A and B are shown apart, each in its own frame.
Chain A
Amino acid sequence: MKILLINLCSNSLSELEFVKPLEHILKNHKINFHTKHYTRIKHEDVESSDKIIVCGTALKDTGFLEDLDWFTPINESDKPVLGVGSSSQAITKFFNEKLIDETKIGVFKVTLVKENRLVSKKSFYAYFLTKKIIKPVLLFETLARVEEIACMVKHKRKEIYGCFFHPEVMNQEIILNFALRIN
């Protein structure tokens, strides 16, 4: 099993904060992965991987939202995808879901609203670093909420997940369940 880890950071210093921690989790669990910057993804990178995790990036880093063509080969591959932090904005925007300006920074209580294979706890605390949230109305359904806001979503027909928080900080099991349980 091989995971393609996609780096969204426009600044190499941010990679230490948003890419390295995910690499560390995968490495610690002996999960095979390779990391690529979103501007350099080739068709064969997607084809040679079984699953895809898209990392988050800094609050001020929003360039990846401007042109979402990079997500097209990933979508066409029909491989499971997990968006982490701000990458969830890109993934849901690609499917024309509406993003709303709402800043959430810090630790908040998350409540599960739909059973799923990534997280089983009815409620848990998660670390947020986001300035946009989703109001799913089209292709995505809500799996978990923070207050009344959707913060964990899934595509209704595909194995495409978005965590608007950073599971690598307090909820590593979400990353591992995606890597080990989702097909």
Chain B
Amino acid sequence: MKLGALFSGGKDSCLAIHKAWGIHEITCLISLIPKCEESYMFHFPNAWITRYQAEAIGLPIIQMETSGKRDGEIKDLIEAIKLAMKKFRIEGILTGAIRSTYQASRIQRICDKLDLWCFNPLWLKDQVELLNEIVNEGFEVIISGVYAYPLDESFLGKIINKQIIERLVGLWEKYDLNVAGEGGEIETTVLDAPLFKKRIEIVDYEAHYRDNSGIFKIKGLRLMDK
């Protein structure tokens, strides 16, 4: 089946593609770039690099700017999916939704309306298991945003490895944080994964942190052979 993958450039959408790879044909990535930081549905920091991640994977990408406002986002997503249906003849949508019934139900409704299959291979997956899976499968993922106390600037730009998972689990147990970040506590950016033909090297960045919130903003990158 030809699928379009909703792609934020973070660990969840990449892991969802990794799981669907070989079962279905991923024909394109679909990425919405919110104009405002408070997007209800889409990943914000470093959204601009999704086009380079697509190049690294070797897939075409449909990128569409969205207002980041609740209703506007849904309309923009429908338009982007319609474009993918026309251009790449997709029969289904793949998402990295884990637990958000808000996100999942909206995408399910869109797929129902457009008569598309909807696949959510990470649905209800254990958060710690998910983080361990990305490390064990050889993903290189950095923390590109932190949005909740007590996540501080020391996490920004860090590659997710066993030590970081241990720290996050410790904070989860103490402060009831969503370790995998789907609650919006952390955002991630994937630099390399098994399905990437090239890896991303960051050549310039800025890190900002204030009032329990911070962003690791990638300002320059290059694609490297693996």
| Chain A residues at the B interface, C-beta cutoff of 8 Å | 11-14, 16-17, 20-21, 24, 58-60, 103, 105-107, 127, 129, 131, 168-170
B148 to chain A, nearest CB (A): 23
Whether A17 and B123, one on each chain, are in contact in the complex, defined by CB atoms closer than 8 angstroms, is yes
Tell me if B201 counts as interface (CB < 8 A to partner A): no
Q: Which residues of B contact A169 (CB under 8 A)?
A: 101, 124
| Chain B residues at the A interface, C-beta cutoff of 8 Å | 1, 19-20, 23-24, 101, 105, 108-109, 111-112, 115-126
Q: Which residues of B contact A127 (CB under 8 A)?
A: 101, 105
Tell me whether A129 and B24 are in contact in the complex, defined as CB-CB below 8 angstroms, given that A14-B119, A60-B117 are known contacts.
no
Tell me whether A16 and B19 are in contact in the complex, defined as CB-CB below 8 angstroms, given that A24-B126, A59-B118, A127-B101 are known contacts.
yes
Q: Measured between alpha carbons, how far is A25 from B19 in the docked complex, in Å?
A: 21
B145 to chain A, nearest CB (A): 26
Q: Measured between alpha carbons, how far is A106 from B105 in the docked complex, in Å?
A: 5
Identify the 6 closest CB pairs spanning chains A and B, nearest first.
A106-B105, A21-B124, A16-B121, A17-B123, A17-B120, A105-B108
Whether B124 and A13, one on each chain, are in contact in the complex, defined by CB atoms closer than 8 angstroms, is no
A-B contact pairs, 22 of them (CB 8 A): A11-B1, A11-B119, A13-B20, A13-B121, A17-B121, A17-B124, A21-B124, A21-B125, A24-B124, A58-B118, A58-B119, A60-B115, A60-B116, A60-B118, A105-B109, A105-B112, A106-B109, A127-B101, A127-B105, A129-B105, A168-B124, A170-B101
Q: Besides A17-B119, A17-B124, 10 other CB < 8 A contacts? A: A11-B1, A13-B23, A106-B105, A106-B109, A107-B105, A127-B105, A129-B108, A169-B101, A169-B124, A170-B101
Q: Measured between alpha carbons, how far is A47 from B125 in the docked complex, in Å?
A: 31
Picked from A12, A17, A21, A105, the residue with its CB within 8 Å of the CB of B23 is A12
Q: Which residues of A contact B125 (CB under 8 A)?
A: 16, 20-21
Interface centre among B19, B120, B122 (most CB of A within 10 A): B120
Q: Measured between alpha carbons, how far is A140 from B112 in the docked complex, in Å?
A: 29
Q: Which residues of B contact A24 (CB under 8 A)?
A: 124, 126
Q: Can you name the residue of chain A whose Cβ is closest to the Cβ of B129? A: A24
Q: Which residues of A contact B119 (CB under 8 A)?
A: 11, 13-14, 17, 58
B107 to chain A, nearest CB (A): 10
Q: Can you name the residue of chain A whose Cβ is closest to the Cβ of B3? A: A13
Tell me whether A59 and B101 are in contact in the complex, defined as CB-CB below 8 angstroms, given that A16-B121, A16-B123 are known contacts.
no
Q: Which residues of A contact B126 (CB under 8 A)?
A: 24
Whether B111 and A107, one on each chain, are in contact in the complex, defined by CB atoms closer than 8 angstroms, is no
Q: Measured between alpha carbons, how far is A169 from B104 in the docked complex, in Å?
A: 11
Whether B101 and A58, one on each chain, are in contact in the complex, defined by CB atoms closer than 8 angstroms, is no
Q: Which residues of B contact A12 (CB under 8 A)?
A: 23
Whether A106 and B101, one on each chain, are in contact in the complex, defined by CB atoms closer than 8 angstroms, is yes
Whether B124 and A59, one on each chain, are in contact in the complex, defined by CB atoms closer than 8 angstroms, is no
Q: Which residues of A contact B122 (CB under 8 A)?
A: 16
Q: Measured between alpha carbons, how far is A159 from B120 in the docked complex, in Å?
A: 32
Q: Measured between alpha carbons, how far is A171 from B56 in the docked complex, in Å?
A: 41
Picked from A11, A17, A21, A107, the residue with its CB within 8 Å of the CB of B101 is A107
Q: Which residues of B contact A105 (CB under 8 A)?
A: 105, 108-109, 112
Interface centre among B19, B120, B123 (most CB of A within 10 A): B123
Q: Which residues of A contact B20 (CB under 8 A)?
A: 13
B91 to chain A, nearest CB (A): 9
Q: Measured between alpha carbons, how far is A13 from B24 in the docked complex, in Å?
A: 9
Q: Can you name the residue of chain A whose Cβ is closest to the Cβ of B120? A: A17
Whether B123 and A13, one on each chain, are in contact in the complex, defined by CB atoms closer than 8 angstroms, is no
Q: Which residues of A contact B108 (CB under 8 A)?
A: 59, 105-106, 129
Q: Measured between alpha carbons, how far is A103 from B109 in the docked complex, in Å?
A: 9
Whether A21 and B123, one on each chain, are in contact in the complex, defined by CB atoms closer than 8 angstroms, is yes
